[in-house]
């Protein structure tokens, strides 16, 4: 054998793909100012210590009730907001505090799709002007000219390229969201953060836009972070899912494990409110957990585990100590002292489930203290 022949290292396992985006301890507190002197009297703790990564080519779904900090997280990772603390790395580069100028080249790679296709498009601009804006802002002239490129983009998202000179009001909601998608894809980004991309659309149109996002991901090799409160949408689009509650990730898992065996009681409650589409299981009395009360205020969140005021498993420990987000199974992170479908993290904790009493509901389906009401109406989520 010649000395130049390279011997493959058979014993080393394949390297996991490097994260495209890495977030560590991300914090965003919005100051509350009062009085003539605008003195800071407190802060909305919208995002309070998020750690996760997004791998190339995947879709990370982010789910949680209204006000839990999903949109703030999306605006932080696209750097539309300045973080209060923590670190954001994109392709290994620290972008946490980059200024507008330094962010400009990165704007090509990271784009955002907004919830409301009505307000996110300037009504006085033609579709051509809207979709070509990223080229103007970046000072880029695509090969073949801007018009040709924009028309190709319109075609890519299923719109008629002849409608280049029309105005947003001439389009339906679903079509306007397609325009927003075309604009986001103009510069061929690597990461697209979509904040509630279909929630403002008719249910009949939602599937079309979700399928379009799916197809574009395959075609263009995109990586998505999709924020939604709708668990059916999240289930359809996500490879992995982060469940947020009051500014924190309480569970992060791949789609199948999360839906089959949720570990955090909050995830379990959210999922129990989703109707079962399987006709074979129709009529089967499924366990529904009714979360009572609203999400507490992020201005003064509960001590310890933030979910303890609504959790039927809460003990004294949960009131006092915040559970860290730790790996409880392969590819599965959970922040809970008493997780479902896993060994109790604090088996010696004998205190009464006072949170369950506060919730004041019937005994839980698996004999837990309180907080759940099988087959009850309503449920978690928006
Ligand atoms: N600019 C701001 N100034 C002050 N508070 C803010 C600001 N933006 C968001 N918040 C607060 O931060 C918290 C998280 O808001 P955020 O919009 O991120 O939640 P969300 O999970 O996306 O909710 P929704 O689904 O209703 O949009 C909320 O209490 C909200 O009122």
194 and 296 both lie in a single domain: no
Whether 218 and 128 map to the same domain: the answer is yes
Contact 257/331 with Cβ under 8 angstroms? yes
Facing residues of 48 across strands? 27
Cα 235 to middle of ligand 1, angstroms: 23
Mean pLDDT of the chain: 84
Helix (H) / strand (E) containing 251: strand 248-254
Please, are residues 287 and 365 in contact by the beta-carbon 8 Å criterion? yes
Whether 207 and 307 share a structural domain: no
Whether 32 maps to a domain, the answer reads: no
Q: What's the pLDDT score for residue 301?
A: 94
> Quick check: is 126 in a domain?
yes
Q: How many whole angstroms separate alpha carbon 312 and alpha carbon 292?
A: 10
248-257 per-position pLDDT tens digit: 999 999 999 9
Residue 351 domain flag:
yes
The pLDDT, as a whole number, for residue 305 is 96
Q: Is the pLDDT of residue 358 over 60?
A: no
Q: Is the ipTM of this complex over 0.90?
A: yes
308 and 178 within one domain: no
The answer to whether residues 76 and 89 touch, using CB atoms and an 8 Å cutoff, is no
Residue minimizing CA distance to atom 26 of ligand 1:
66
User: Where do we find the tokens 């802060």?
Assistant: 43
Task: Specify the number of domains making up the chain.
Answer: 2
Specify the pLDDT at position 7.
43
Report whether pLDDT(322) > 90.
yes
**Distance in angstroms (rounded) separating the CA atoms of residues 287 and 294:** 21
Sheet holding 191-195, edge to edge: 110-113, 191-195, 223-227, 59-63, 240-245, 248-254, 332-334, 326-329
pLDDT at 333: 96
CB distance 248 to ligand 1 below 6 Å: no
Contact 183, 130 (CB under 8 A): yes
pLDDT at 220: 92
- Binding site membership of 167 for ligand 1 (Cβ less than 6 Å): no
Shared domain check, 60 and 192: yes
* Closest C-alpha to 361, from 377, 376, 372: 372
Nearest atom within ligand 1 for CA of residue 297:
29
**Is 339 among the domain residues?**
yes
Is residue 355 assigned to a domain? yes
In this prediction, residue 275 carries a pLDDT of 66
Residue 374 has pLDDT above 50, yes or no: no
pLDDT band at 200 (very low <50, low <70, confident <90, very high): confident
Q: What percent of the chain has pLDDT over 90?
A: 60
* Angle of CA points 227, 231, 233, to nearest 5°: 70
Give distance in angstroms: CA of 71 to centre of ligand 1: 7
- Nearest residue CA, atom 28 of ligand 1? 67
Measure the CA–CA gap between 226 and 199, rounded to whole angstroms. Answer: 12
CATH number of the CATH domain containing 136? 3.40.50.300
pLDDT band at 376 (very low <50, low <70, confident <90, very high): very low
Range of the domain at 323: 267-275+286-359
pLDDT surpassing 80 at residue 368? no
For the cut 50, the answer to whether the pLDDT of residue 3 exceeds it is: no
Q: Same structural domain for residues 136 and 188?
A: yes
Same domain, 154 and 232: yes
pLDDT tens, position by position, 24-81: 999 999 999 988 888 888 899 999 999 999 999 999 999 999 899 999 999 999 999 9
Helix (H) or strand (E) segment spanning residue 382:
none
* pLDDT greater at residue 132 or residue 372: 132
Q: Which atom of ligand 1 is nearest to the CA of 73?
A: 18
Kindly state whether residues 187 and 334 are assigned to the same domain.
Answer: no
Judge whether 370 lies within some domain.
Answer: no
Atom of ligand 1 nearest to the CA of 64: 21
**How are strands ordered across the β-sheet holding 93-94?**
39-54, 21-34, 85-90, 93-94
pLDDT at 294: 78
Structure confidence at residue 43 (pLDDT): 93
Higher pLDDT, 357 or 311: 311
> Using one digit for the tens of pLDDT, what is the confidence trace for 81-97?
999 999 999 999 999 99
Estimate to the nearest angstrom the gap between the alpha carbon of 192 and the chain centroid: 12
User: Higher confidence at residue 324 or residue 381?
Assistant: 324
Return the pLDDT at 10.
Answer: 47
Residues 192 and 332 both lie in one domain: no
Burial 206-242 (b: 16+ CB within 10 A, else e): bebbbebbeebbeeeebbbbbbbbbbebbbbbbebbb
At 83 the pLDDT is: 97
Q: In the predicted model, is pLDDT for residue 144 greater than 90? A: no
Answer yes or no: do 67 and 188 share one domain.
yes
In angstroms, rounded to a whole number, what is the distance separating the alpha carbons of residues 105 and 276? 45
Query: Residue 324 pLDDT more than 90?
Result: yes
70 touches ligand 1 (CB under 6 Å):
yes
């Amino acid at each position: 054998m010649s000395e130049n022949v390279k011997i493959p290292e058979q014993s080393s396992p394949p390297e996991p793909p490097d994260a495209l985006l890495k977030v560590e301890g991300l914090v965003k507190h919005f100051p509350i100012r009062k009085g003539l002197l605008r003195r800071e009297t407190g802060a909305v703790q919208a995002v309070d210590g998020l750690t996760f990564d997004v791998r190339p080519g995947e879709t990370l779904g982010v789910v949680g009730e209204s006000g839990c900090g999903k949109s703030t997280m999306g605006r932080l990772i696209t750097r539309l907001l300045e973080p209060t603390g923590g670190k954001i790395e994109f392709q290994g580069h620290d972008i946490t505090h980059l200024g507008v100028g330094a962010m400009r080249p990165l704007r090509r790679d990271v784009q955002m799709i907004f919830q409301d296709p009505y307000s996110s498009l300037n009504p006085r601009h033609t579709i051509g002007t809207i979709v070509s804006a990223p080229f103007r802002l970046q000072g880029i002239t695509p090969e073949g000219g801007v018009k040709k490129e924009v028309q190709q983009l319109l075609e890519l998202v299923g719109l008629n390229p002849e409608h280049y000179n029309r105005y947003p009001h001439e389009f339906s909601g679903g079509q306007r969201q397609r325009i927003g998608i075309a604009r986001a894809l103009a510069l061929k980004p690597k990461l697209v953060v979509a904040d509630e991309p279909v929630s403002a659309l008719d249910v009949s149109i939602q599937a079309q836009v979700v399928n379009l996002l799916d197809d574009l991901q395959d075609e263009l090799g995109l990586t998505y972070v999709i924020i939604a409160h709708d668990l059916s949408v999240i289930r359809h689009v996500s490879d992995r899912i982060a469940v947020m509650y009051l500014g924190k990730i309480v569970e992060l898992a791949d789609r199948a494990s999360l839906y089959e065996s949720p570990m955090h009681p909050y995830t379990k409650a959210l999922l129990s409110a989703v109707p079962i589409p399987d006709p074979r299981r129709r009529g089967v009395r499924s366990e529904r957990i009714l979360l009572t009360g609203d999400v507490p205020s992020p201005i003064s969140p509960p001590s310890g585990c933030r979910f303890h005021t609504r959790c039927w498993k809460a003990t004294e420990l949960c009131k006092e100590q915040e559970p860290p987000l730790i790996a409880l199974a392969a590819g599965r992170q959970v922040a809970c002292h008493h997780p479902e479908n896993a060994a109790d993290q604090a088996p010696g904790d004998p205190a009464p489930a006072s949170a369950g009493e506060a919730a004041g509901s019937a005994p839980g389906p698996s004999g837990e203290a309180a907080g759940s009401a099988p087959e009850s109406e309503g449920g978690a989520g928006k």
